[in-house]
């Protein structure tokens, strides 16, 4: 085999390279570890402190146990921004793009490995947290099992939604090339803007706000969707479109800009 054949850039090699980079960064393990700790800790704390008879009885059981996802927004979002914007801040992106001159395979590979790592981590945390939390909720209004209608689906779609959110943050980091600006944009898009839009006196704006990332993930975390809330299928489609649109814009800018 020639030297050219040995060192030819292929999608599999780019993917393996990005997986190696992601898994050798300390920030990756800190972020994924915090995701598990916060999901498990918050779920057990909420379940252990639940007394019943109050307004909490009306909250969806899966949503109540997975309230730690509010922290996961920030943790996975920060990890996503660091995956791309972090390379720009250190200058490592120049070496990466020199090795892969076509550029776009790098973006797709970063998105794929982050989505895989995020999904598997959140999924594991969800399926550990839910049954453990249920040990505190026996004989309460929130007693449930994994076999109840919608429960397992909600645990899976929550993980999928949060993984897509992490990839959306990765796209923002690629577009903005700044870790603080990327994190600020993510918080504004996922936490602030959806709360402000419903204040406008237009029904169409209120309807659109329900499909913003944080609201879509919330809908995906309900075992039983509430009236006026997007269905799980619609919410997952919304998250997919947000993420795909962000990646497409990031790809366009990556091709047009200097490294």
User: For 117-146, what is each residue's pLDDT tens digit?
Assistant: 999 999 999 999 999 999 999 988 899 999
* 1 domain-assigned: no
Which 3 state secondary structure label does DSSP give 171? helix
Q: Splitting the chain (259 residues) into consecutive groups of 10 residues, what average pLDDT does each group show?
A: 56 89 90 95 94 74 92 92 88 82 89 96 97 93 93 97 96 93 90 79 76 91 89 95 96 83
- Does a structural domain hold residue 42? yes
pLDDT per residue as tens digits for the range 164-207: 999 999 999 999 999 999 999 999 888 888 778 777 777 777 77
Residue 4 domain-assigned (yes or no):
no
For tokens 């799980």, the residue is 232
Determine, yes or no, domain membership for 3: no
Q: Has residue 218 been placed in a domain?
A: yes
Res 54: pLDDT? 64
Q: What pTM, to 2 d.p., does this model score?
A: 0.91
Distance, first Cα to last Cα, the chain = 32
- 169 to 2, 73, 164, 187: CA distances (angstroms): 40, 10, 9, 10
Count structural domains, the chain.
1
Q: Provide the residue range defining the domain that includes 138.
A: 9-256
C-alpha to C-alpha distance for 77 and 33, rounded to whole angstroms = 14
Predicted confidence at residue 2, as pLDDT, reads: 38
Q: Report if residue 20 sits inside a domain.
A: yes
Burial of 106 (0-12, 13-18, 19+ CB in 10 A): buried
The Cα 235–Cα 139 span in angstroms is 32
Nearest to 86 by CA among 176, 19, 165, 164: 176
Q: What are phi and psi of 180, to 5 degrees?
A: -60, -40
């Amino acid at each position: 085999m020639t030297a050219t054949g040995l060192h030819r850039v292929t999608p599999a090699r780019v993917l393996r390279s990005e997986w190696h980079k992601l898994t050798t960064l300390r920030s990756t393990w800190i972020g994924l570890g915090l995701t598990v700790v916060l999901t498990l800790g918050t779920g057990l704390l909420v379940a252990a402190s639940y007394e019943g008879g109050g307004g909490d009885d009306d909250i969806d059981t899966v949503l109540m146990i997975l309230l730690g996802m509010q922290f996961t927004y920030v943790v996975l979002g920060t990890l996503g921004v660091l995956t791309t914007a972090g390379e720009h801040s250190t200058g490592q992106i120049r070496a990466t793009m020199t090795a892969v001159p076509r550029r776009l395979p790098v973006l797709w590979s970063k998105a794929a490995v982050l989505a895989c790592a995020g999904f598997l981590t959140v999924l594991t945390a969800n399926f550990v947290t839910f049954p453990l939390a249920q040990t505190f909720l026996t004989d309460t209004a929130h007693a449930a099992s994994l076999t109840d209608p919608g429960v397992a689906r909600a645990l899976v779609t929550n993980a999928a939604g949060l993984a897509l959110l992490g990839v959306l943050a990765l796209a923002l980091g690629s577009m903005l090339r700044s870790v603080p600006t990327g994190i600020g944009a993510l918080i504004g898009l996922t936490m602030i803007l959806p709360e402000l839009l419903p204040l406008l006196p237009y029904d169409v704006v209120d309807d659109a706000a329900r499909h913003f990332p944080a609201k879509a993930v919330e809908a995906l975390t309900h075992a039983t969707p509430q009236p006026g809330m997007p269905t799980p299928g619609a919410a997952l489609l919304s998250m997919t479109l947000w993420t795909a649109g962000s990646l497409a814009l990031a790809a366009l800018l990556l091709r047009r800009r200097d490294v």
